[in-house]
Amino acid sequence: MAEALAQARLAEAKGETPVGAVLVTGNGRIAGVGHNASESLRDPTAHAEIAALRAAALVERNYRLEGGVLVVTLEPCLMCAGALVHARVAGLVYGAPDPKAGAVDSRLDCLEQAFCNHRVWSLGGVCREECAALLRAFFTRRRPAAPALTSASSSE
């Protein structure tokens, strides 16, 4: 998760939502890393998970990443969860849950659908607070502060 967090910080430094991912092979070697780049690439598929899967597929010379484990700082969305199934990774480890769009535990259990031809195990909540704090700080800086109510404005 330390490397995934480092990738998330790279994304943040580029003005991207701070999500990072790492694909670790069955023998413990990092085969691919990635971070969000949807804004800079103007690409809705440029999520951290997809970048890490693409990089690992090039290194492994195979899109089937059997035995691999994807480590990501945020619970994957529907697109990324589907990509894990198609890549046939063995497992997923994620940090913070995504209550709005999480497709592994929070909103949908995409990895356990009967029609999926491959099962991916998952473990959420690893370094949860650190991953969530990075995202909270990023969005707090991006959102304008709400105007404070004064006693004069509240009595009108």
Cβ pair 109, 75 in contact under 8 A: no
Give kind and range of the element (H or E) at residue 76.
none
Q: What string of DSSP letters covers 32-52?
A: EEEE--HHHHT-TT--HHHHH
- Catalytic residue check, 12: no
Q: Indicate which residue of 12, 16, 49, 75 is catalytic.
A: 49
Q: How many CA atoms lie within 13 A of 25 on its CB side?
A: 14
Annotated catalytic sites, by residue?
Answer: 49
